[in-house]
Amino acid sequence: MGILLFSLLPILQALRISFFEYGLLSPEQTFIGADNYARAFADPVFRIALHNTILFSALLVVGQTLLALLLALLLKQEIRGRAFFRSAFFLPVVTSLVVISTVWKLMYNSQGFINGVLGTLGVGAQPFLASSTQALPSLVLMSVWKEVGFYMLIFLAGLQAIPGELYESASIDGANRWTSFWRITLPLLRRATVFVMVVGTISAFKVFTPVYLMTDGGPADSTMVIVFYIFRVAFRYFEMGFASAMSFILMGIVIVLTLLQFRLLRTTVEY
């Protein structure tokens, strides 16, 4: 009953609204069919937001997947302080995104910590969030740092589930570590990789808080992403019908990408 009340009914209501011209400041609702959907695809800002969201998601998913796998491989080894490093990498995951966004915004400041470090290395101050070319990668870097610890644990669980006998057998057959990684580790981590990439993609397409707190979609719409644009249209311009239509377009894109990832990364490898 709770799912019906708080999930399904609001979704159906949003779907209904997407076919109407409806503003929060006016009680009138005028049926306009699929005009809101056509307007979305004709809207240059929506196309910019879609491009930025896809680019952000691609950079984030690839970056955090590769880094999480590398950290998992390193922290699976018997190294001194392993428990400390695991906790340290996971700490940002459970830290408020609002706090992290605020701190990183200060770090990206022209007089902030990152430019201070660059200055000691002889590199000039960088504009970061004030640059239309650096703002989006700066958000990606912060997001990778925030989430990589969670995906590292997923890969660690996958690595620990791989039987050690497989590596012993490969070693007896003359396989080195690199061969064992490509022939054993990667194939048997396929399911963990699917989970990391699917969840990471969904999370990346929903990015909102860092954009809202750090860039407000700027400069020059360089960090305008779909969810932030939907928020702006709905709660700054009060065009709920148009915002609802964009929400369902976003949902359709995420569903298609998720199905593609499941299909391309599916595996029949068992152990």
Q: Please give the pLDDT value at position 254.
A: 93
Give me the phi and psi of 20, to 5 degrees please.
Answer: -125, 155
Share of the chain above pLDDT 90, in %: 61
β pairing state of 20-22 and 29-31? antiparallel
Q: Can the peptide bond before residue 219 be classed as cis, meaning omega within 30 degrees of 0? A: yes
Indicate the fold that domain 35-265 takes in CATH. Answer: MetI-like fold (1.10.3720)
Q: Please tell me the predicted confidence (pLDDT) of residue 187.
A: 87
Least trusted range by pLDDT, from 55-69, 79-93, 243-257: 79-93
Coil, strand or helix at 29 = strand
Nearest to 223 by CA among 40, 52, 45, 50: 52
Mean pLDDT of 139-146: 96
Please give the Cα distance from 70 to 144 (Å, whole number): 13
pLDDT tens for 183-241 read 888 888 988 999 999 999 999 999 999 999 999 999 999 999 999 999 999 999 899 99
Query: The tokens of 215 are what?
Result: 């860039």
pLDDT over 90 at 249, yes or no: yes
Choose the weakest-confidence range: 24-38, 118-132, 255-269. Answer: 255-269
Neighbours of 180 (CB within 10 A): 17
Whether residue 270 has pLDDT greater than 60: no
Distance between CA atoms of residues 72 and 49, nearest Å = 33
More confident site: 36 or 184: 36
Per-residue confidence band for 60, with pLDDT thresholds at 50, 70 and 90:
very high
What are the tokens at 165?
């006998």
Residues in the chain: 271
Residue 44 has pLDDT above 90, yes or no: yes
Query: What is the CB neighbour count within 10 angstroms for residue 67?
Result: 17
Q: Where are the domains of the chain?
A: 35-265
**149 within 8 A of 89, measured Cβ to Cβ:** yes
Tell me the average pLDDT of the chain: 90
Task: Please give the residue that has the higher pLDDT: either 269 or 147.
Answer: 147
Give phi and psi for 125, each to the nearest 5. Answer: -60, 140
Residue 82: pLDDT band (50, 70, 90) is confident
Terminal CA-CA length for the chain: 40
| Adjacent-strand bridge partners of 20 | 31
